[in-house]
Amino acid sequence: MSFSVGLQDARIPGDPSFPMLVFYPTAEGEKPEALGPFPTSVAKGAAPLPGPHPLVLISHGTGGTPGSHRELARHLASQGFVVGVPEHPHDNRNDPRGAERVELLSTRPHDLARAADWLFATEPFASVVRPGAFSVIGHSLGAYTGLALAGGVPTTLPHQHADRQARKLALERDARVNALVLLAPATPWFRVRGSLEAVTAPILMIASYADTAAPYFYMGQVVLDGLRPGHPIEYRLVESAHHYGFLSPWPEALKGPAIPPSIDPPGFDRRAFLDQLYLDITAFLTRTTAP
């Protein structure tokens, strides 16, 4: 069964506060809308359908934007999920000033926890989300973010400190995370073997042979080495997709070499790839988050 998709703009309070898009199933009709430069079709401000609906958070990569995950969020909402897509402060398309700061390794997971807290406590979503658990989908550094929130123990990289000494970070595990989807994951902060042993959520990890920004042969192996033996993980490698091929397509007017996520390599059909990707993610989350 497929539902119409509602959308509300939220702002998560705190210091700093940050915006979040919330997609959800609704009975009201959709119409064309724009998320900045990104077109979509939603029922803006519509009432959500009664739940309980499983909650999903999507964490964008470095310098990313919630709009670049709009199609995945829409698809999941049409299948009965409530989906929050926060904009990570100081590490997004509009404000990239903190992108290289080591502090982001700690603040990004906290952003997701704050977003979940808000959705569980604030109407109209508090009444329609299934209480006590949520899933995280992360692309690139967003995959790091989900793993760190779910119990991963990251170690900084030596070049991130003036004294060239790596440091282990103490982060609080959020036991509410009940599934993780890692897309083109960036994971070198978990390079210490066993650093993901506290992660218990089942994982779907998808990487590409053609990804040169987050090479599968290193990033994927970091995750496999960090987990406990026997951890429930589905790991798939795909052909042809570049690092940004996991993002929603760019509008034609914005495509060009100056915007690398907008351009696909010859022979890569992003539309066909995403259509299958969305089905695979939905199937995984439906299996792993069933009551």
Question: Do 41 and 33 contact (CB within 8 A), yes or no?
Answer: yes
- More reliable by pLDDT, 282 or 94: 282
What share of the chain in percent tops pLDDT 70? Answer: 98
Residue 80 pLDDT class (50, 70, 90 cuts): very high
CA distance 241 to 215: 12
State the pairing for strand pair 18-26/4-12: antiparallel
pLDDT tens digits, one per residue of 40-74: 999 999 999 999 999 999 999 998 899 999 999 99
Q: What is the pLDDT of residue 97?
A: 66
Q: What is the pLDDT of residue 94?
A: 76
pLDDT tens digits, one per residue of 265-288: 999 999 999 999 999 999 999 999
Q: What is the pLDDT of residue 253?
A: 86
> Phi-psi category of 50—alpha, beta or left, where left has phi over 0 and alpha has psi -120 to 50?
beta
CA distance 208 to 183: 9
Report whether pLDDT(96) > 70. no
For residue 12, what are the contacts with CB-CB under 8 A and spacing of at least 6?
18, 19, 20, 86, 111, 114, 115, 118
pLDDT tens digits, one per residue of 176-226: 999 999 999 999 999 999 999 999 999 999 999 999 999 999 999 999 999
Q: What is the pLDDT of residue 72?
A: 98
The token duo for 222 is 């970091």
Mean pLDDT of the chain: 95
pLDDT tens digits, one per residue of 126-167: 999 999 999 999 999 999 999 999 999 999 999 999 999 999
Say how many C-beta atoms besides its own lie within 10 A of residue 243's C-beta: 22
Report whether pLDDT(95) > 80. no
The CATH number of 4-288 is 3.40.50.1820
If you ran DSSP here, which 8-state letter would residue 129 be given? E
* Strand runs labelled E in 13-115: 18-26, 31-35, 38-44, 53-59, 82-86
Q: What is the pLDDT of residue 98?
A: 58
Q: What is the pLDDT of residue 149?
A: 98
Give the mean pLDDT of 112-134: 97
What strands lie across the sheet with 203-208, from one edge to the other?
31-35, 38-44, 4-12, 18-26, 82-86, 53-59, 129-139, 177-183, 203-208, 233-238
Q: What is the pLDDT of residue 205?
A: 98
Q: Which ranges constitute the DSSP H helices of the chain?
A: 70-78, 104-121, 141-149, 216-226, 270-288
Q: What is the pLDDT of residue 219?
A: 97
Say how many C-beta atoms besides its own lie within 10 A of residue 130's C-beta: 17
Q: What is the pLDDT of residue 99?
A: 59
